[in-house]
Structure 1
């Protein structure tokens, strides 16, 4: 691979990208509606203490972390890929470089909008339902709702879907979008399954977390007009600030160049001529005299 091709990808692009940006297509709208239905079905199943809650308890009592202790250390570190702080910093650093290279704030603004929606939607459901986690459960077979917990849906899982999925959402080529979608899916599925293995979440928590994160990614095209307006406002403020902070030039005009200075008026020429002077090529030429010079020469002869 040629190194100049690699280094060219590290330089700023000459122009800002002009789209097309993702839009709410019929396919995306259908996926969004299906995910909403799945989300509501999970919530209703937990509220009704159905077979899903029984599955939660069966997996919890199975204690996977005791069945396969050899992978406990690795999975305990792997689950960090779902924590909001570390993942947000990593993804923001990458998207910050993308913003600089493409001369646009859209990547960072899209991440900000996605995390804001994630905190608002997932946090509201967590606080509203107040479900306890497996380690704090008090009654076998109970859904453990409205008990002061904040475990449902899984924030780790939803955050993994959003923070890694935003890279695929912002990809500029179909090939990059496919590869990043696979990476995001592996991280999101892996983080969700790991929380169940560690016993920090119920199975239903993870299912709802996947749905919550996917809803945010599928609904981001509705935020594109707001992202464009915020970007235009920020760039206008930056332009205004840079103009105001630039040094002001004085009103004094620069010194006139010798070519711009007026030439002194010359006396009218008369027929008398000055003595011949060497023209530089071996011949001598007589120069015309002014009127004052002619009168001075006439008086000297008399």
Structure 2
């Protein structure tokens, strides 16, 4: 009779068919427009254009002093753009999705997006070396190539990628629309919060938005690599499972009976606890004291050495010994 567990498994819905995004013409056009915007921001900062002047005006305005009542809340809100906490939260959700849908694609897509984020944003940060508003040295300067690492804004780009990946991996168009709106609001709020606190210029935030959006738009190009990685990981898992099945597990209880390793020859079986002996026949036909036959010991048992001459039992024949030699007659009396 079937239990309730198997009945529930029968009623378990099948995993939904996941439609993998493709690089369509619309997505390709958005990618090209975002890339052009990205390059325009970089050039505007490099030539110290009006954008740099706007950065300084906002910095000298000091929004955190104009609205101090928002500071306590925004200090916590900006955590939504930190890579560590957000990556853990989103990875936990996508891990459940992977288990539910029987696929590793959600986790692998998150890993690929974070890898692209570290490589692209990190290289530009270190290459341009821009200082933040709190460390600026000359008013009106772009503060480039001074050993900084805030251009583009990592908080903003991370918020776009980490929360946007949920919309990218959505299984229905309705869920994709809702998640896209939520991720856009979160990323917009995180970027403006960094400007309010004074840790980033406005141009840093603009470039961070563009950098994160470029990664999300480029993810369809990574889908073939993600599929190969998933096939490889699942193949390794199947090999490990097969090896575990082939290895027998036969526990032997202490003191328990051992299976017969060698066949018993002859009509009668010999008890394993008794050692086979042989009794040689003496000269008079009688048997002498039996001694163990070392050559009959089982191959798996301990080998016994042959007894030395001093340890052997003296053989006494059963027949009478020769009579003692008598004296010759007439030799005295």
- CA RMSD, 1 decimal: 1.5
**C-alpha offsets along residues 168-197 of structure 1, whole Å, 9 cap, x if unaligned?**
000000111111011100100000000000
2:194 counterpart of 1:195: yes
Q: How far apart are the structure 1 equivalents of 2:192 and 2:215?
A: 20
Q: How far apart are the structure 1 equivalents of 2:236 and 2:40?
A: 46
Judge conservation of contact 1:161–1:213 (CA < 8 Å) in 2.
yes
TM-score, normalising length: structure 2: 0.70
- The 1:192/1:174 distance shift into structure 2, 3 A limit, reads same
Point out the structure with max Rg over C-alpha: 2
What is the match of residue 329 of structure 2? none
Q: How far apart are the structure 2 equivalents of 1:74 and 1:34?
A: 35
What is the match of residue 98 of structure 2? 99
Q: For residues 79-90 of structure 1, what are the structure 2 equivalents within 5 Å?
A: 79-90=78-89
Q: How far apart are the structure 1 equivalents of 2:200 and 2:173?
A: 35
SS of the equivalent of 1:246 reads: helix
What is the match of residue 20 of structure 1? 19
Judge conservation of contact 1:32–1:218 (CA < 8 Å) in 2.
yes
**C-alpha offsets along residues 79-136 of structure 1, whole Å, 9 cap, x if unaligned?**
0000000000000000000000000000000000000000000000000000000000
Q: How far apart are the structure 2 equivalents of 1:138 and 1:12?
A: 63
What is the match of residue 230 of structure 1? 229
Relative to its length, the structure with more helix (as a share) is 1
Judge conservation of contact 1:196–1:202 (CA < 8 Å) in 2.
yes
Judge conservation of contact 1:158–1:213 (CA < 8 Å) in 2.
yes
Q: How far apart are the structure 2 equivalents of 1:248 and 1:70?
A: 66
**Higher relative contact order (Cα pairs below 8 Å, separated by 6+ residues):** 1
- The 1:13/1:135 distance shift into structure 2, 3 A limit, reads farther
Could you tell me which runs of 5 or more consecutive residues in structure 2 were left unpaired when the two chains were aligned: 1-7, 250-333
Q: How far apart are the structure 2 equivalents of 1:240 and 1:72?
A: 55
- The 1:13/1:124 distance shift into structure 2, 3 A limit, reads farther
